[in-house]
Amino acid sequence: MKRWSKAAALVLAAAVTAACGAGGRPDDAKPGSTVGITDTTIKIGAHFPLTGVAAPGYSEIPSGHKAYYDYVNAHGGVNGRKIEFVVRDDAYNPTTTSQVTNELVLNDEIFAMVGGLGTPTHGAVVDFLNDAKVPDLFVSSGSLQWGDYPKDKPFTFGWQPDYEIEGKIIGDWVKKNKPDAKIGLFLQDDDFGRDGEKGARRYLDDQIVAVAKYSPGNTDVAPQMAQLQAAGVDMVLGFNVPSYTALSQLVSLRLGFKPTWFYSNVGSDPTLVGALLARFSEGAVTDGASLLDGVMTTEYIPGVDAPDDPWLKLWQKVWSEHGADGDLTNYRVYGMSQAYTFVQALQAAGPNPTREGIVAAVEKAGKTFEGPGNAPFRFTGESHLGISGMAVVEIQNGVGEAKTPVLVTDIGDAPIKEDDSAAKDSPPANGIPNVKAVE
Amino acid sequence: MTRRQLLLALGALVVVILVLENTGPFRNGQFAAMAYYAIAAGGLTVLTGLNGQLSLGHGALMAVGAYTAALMLQERDAALPLVLILLIATGVTLVVGALVGVAAARLHGPYLAGATLALAVAVPGIPLYFSETLGGEQGLRVRVPEIPTWLADAVYFVTGQDLTPTRYLAYLGWLGVIIVFVLLANLSRSRIGRIWQAVRDDEVAAELAGINLGRARVLAFVVSAGCAGLAGGLLALSARIAAPSGFTLTLSLLLLSAVVLGGLGSLVGALVGAALLTFLPQVVTGVGEDLGLTDVQAAQLAPLIYGLVTVLVVLLAPAGLAGGLRKLTQWRRST
């Protein structure tokens, strides 16, 4: 019996090897990949944290994307193609990001990744996307690595202003307006904090008296706040996410630490921070948004605090016609603004888009895209970094009041200039961009 | 090694080749993930099922393996062959496992769970502290080395398909599963395995029989840690990254739940548990989307169903899916 089964196994193994014999390697080269595109549809996708600790806020971004694509589809799509947007949950865990990106690229066969969120998470898949030559458009993170060296990652593009130029613009403003302040930095210990610090130090190196870093996940920031307080800091620049804005506010209340706060755009959404404050303080802070009165931050797209802005009117219309449950939020506005840029890129890629073609089109025409961004994009063959500037604002009653015109710059020692031109762009009447195809 | 096991292993290899060659790159990727879960769960099931030690720290041990492999895979042209890198990852984790094991050997039940829990909580903090070398929160990017030309050519000669990187990793993973499972099966049938069971069932009796309790426990922990290390190395390759957020306590708990779902102490059970971990979320999310749920709802459905399945298995088949199946066949045979 045993001998028989052994023989059977050997025969089976031999049969397997023989059955699949091959001839020569076929050789086919195509001019460009059209995976994910049919005559009537185009399928794109992205990874977002829909569950887990990073889900509050961020999980709303894809709903903004979807609403805007549905709006465009209801108006005939782009060149007759309807946009399908597939969202996969990575719970902000890079291992899962890898798995769901495999699923998006290999199983769902998306044409392009649009808006994949997070620095550690997207970092896990950026090489894979570039190796597979999948356009990796408009990453939802301001890390420099998506665009400062396009030769390494030719298919990847940033979208929001990178953290270094945000650091520069904040640093420049503080230098000019608070030249005597003792500055403390409150940094997330990754690219976000590092790039931001690099930018801020360009102007504030001699004013910075203390640097405190936190690791995401560790919710005790009392040591960091005590360190800044002990150093006599009277202005804190925070490059941190919203939950750490709330934590730092609560802890400094407890310590009696009352500096001027300047949070980067990422961490300053008053609605979300207000809700987090109420939750973290277990109800002790009821009017969280007012706690943020007088807090400084930056703004690069109009948000829900400016309901009369023509872009907001468009987003409100899109959301009420095609949105899911819930109100329009800044995260949904962010998603719609990104979606708007993708529609522009797709139009620029022409009636027969290919993966290579859309990358070339963004490099060629991206600088001229007029959209909700307050400053123009920097897309060229040499840079895949996104929006080039922002305005400094002060929050009062949950509303951002501009303290400067839009300030535009680039990484490195590029000067900071005032440039309101892109902020005056208003949406076309039908709410759908009209970008000419790149030759 | 018995002839039966060798045959089983050969048969498994044939099945693996058939399955991997006839599935697309996406399924290949899922099978690669299943392989590393299976190896880690296999090690854990031997530790918990056979030796009765509960470890909540296997996710952390996987992190040790993953970071070891990642450190050696920073360039595309890795200095060492991939198999050697995985062996080193296993070895390093073995050493860490031995250190933890020595401490663990003095503890029982909830105390051991507590100690290993501390490991699971503390280890993800290490890369944050040494962020210069270990990449901090963003982790270490892993570059999968080029497939050796001779292997690519050999596979093409045999199968007529080019060896894709995902399939390569899936083969590597499943080769690991087969080797590890054969070794574990042998070990648990050997004198050592009987000693482990004796320690689990009755410490006093085992000691009276001349068994050194501490040594038996440390050895079980070391073997189990080695498996976790290999699994971690494979995970880093598949995920293309080793980052702290990939090795939170959740991973340790998921592994434990996979072992419980499959059936404690059973290698087949470990395989079943690994399959559930890999395929269930994707399938459930797909079903949710087909039912017209929103993305967020569909994503939340996966952990819900996973929890329900766990509750049902514990209620209806306390010996796990593999154990329940065995009981079912026995019952049918007897009636």
**pLDDT tens per residue, range A154-182:** 999 999 999 999 999 999 999 999 999 99
CA distance A427 to A4: 77
Look at residue A3 in the predicted model and tell me its pLDDT: 52
CA distance B304 to B299: 9
Look at residue A298 in the predicted model and tell me its pLDDT: 94
Cβ <8 Å between A190 and B137? yes
pTM of the predicted model as reported, rounded to 2 decimal places: 0.85
CA distance B231 to B38: 8
* Domains observed in chain A: 41-161+305-387 (3.40.50.2300), 163-299 (3.40.50.2300)
Q: Is B158 on the interface with A (CB under 8 A)?
A: yes
Cβ <8 Å between A94 and B239? yes
A298 three-class SS: strand
Look at residue A288 in the predicted model and tell me its pLDDT: 65
Q: Do B227 and B38 form a contact (C-beta atoms < 8 A)?
A: no
A124 three-class SS: coil
Strands A183-188 and A208-214: what pairing? parallel
DSSP B20-62: HHTS-HHHHHHHHHHHHHHHHHHHHHIIIIIH----S-HHHHH
Look at residue A25 in the predicted model and tell me its pLDDT: 47
Q: Residue A181 has what DSSP assignment?
A: P
Q: Which of B18, B128, B302 sits opposite A16 (nearest CB)?
A: B18
Q: Is B246 on the interface with A (CB under 8 A)?
A: yes
Cβ <8 Å between A119 and B238? no
Backbone dihedral angles phi then psi of residue B58, each to the nearest 5 degrees: -70, -30
Q: Is A215 on the interface with B (CB under 8 A)?
A: yes
Q: Could you tell me how many residues make up chain A?
A: 439
Cβ <8 Å between B239 and A95? yes
Q: How far is A7 from chain B (nearest CA, A)?
A: 10
Which among A140, A151, A144 has a CA at the least distance from the CA of A113? A140
Tell me which residue has tokens 């996307």: A129
Beta-bridged to residue A239, according to DSSP, are A187
Q: Which residues of chain B does A119 touch, with a Cβ-Cβ cutoff of 8 Å?
A: 138
B280-288: Cβ within 8 A, 24+ apart: B280/B305, B280/B306, B280/B309, B281/B306, B282/A103, B282/B30, B285/A88, B285/A89
Cβ <8 Å between A6 and B7? yes
DSSP A391-405: EEEEEETTEEEESS-
Look at residue B182 in the predicted model and tell me its pLDDT: 93
A403-408: Cβ within 8 A, 24+ apart: A403/A173, A403/A296, A404/A173, A406/A374, A406/A375, A407/A169, A407/A172, A407/A173, A408/A375, A408/A376
CA distance B164 to B25: 8
Backbone dihedral angles phi then psi of residue A386, each to the nearest 5 degrees: -85, -135
Kindly give, in sequence order, each residue whose CB lies less than 8 Å from that of residue A263, ignoring residues fewer than 6 positions away.
A238, A240, A245, A295, A296, A297
Angle at A306 between CA A200 and CA A319, to 5 degrees: 110
Cβ <8 Å between A93 and B245? yes
CA distance A402 to A425: 17
Integer angstrom CA distances of residue A225 from A232, A235, B162? 11, 12, 56
Look at residue A27 in the predicted model and tell me its pLDDT: 44
| A124 → chain B, closest CA residue | B241
Low-confidence stretches of chain A (pLDDT beneath 50): 1-2, 15-30
Look at residue A22 in the predicted model and tell me its pLDDT: 47
Q: Residue A22 has what DSSP assignment?
A: -
> For chain B, which residues make up each domain, given as ranges?
3-248
Kindly give, in sequence order, each residue whose CB lies less than 8 Å from that of residue B125, ignoring residues fewer than 6 positions away.
A215, A218, B244
Q: How far is A294 from chain B (nearest CA, A)?
A: 31
pLDDT per residue, tens digit, chain B (335 aa), is 577 888 888 999 999 988 988 888 889 999 999 999 999 999 999 999 898 888 899 999 999 999 999 999 887 666 788 899 999 999 999 999 999 888 878 887 788 888 899 999 899 888 888 888 888 878 888 888 888 888 888 888 877 778 888 889 999 999 999 999 999 999 988 999 999 999 999 989 999 999 988 899 899 999 999 999 999 999 999 988 898 888 988 899 999 999 999 988 889 999 999 999 999 988 998 898 888 888 888 888 888 999 999 899 989 888 888 888 888 888 888 87
Q: Do B260 and B314 form a contact (C-beta atoms < 8 A)?
A: yes
**pLDDT tens per residue, range A220-263:** 899 999 999 999 999 999 999 888 999 999 999 899 999 999 99
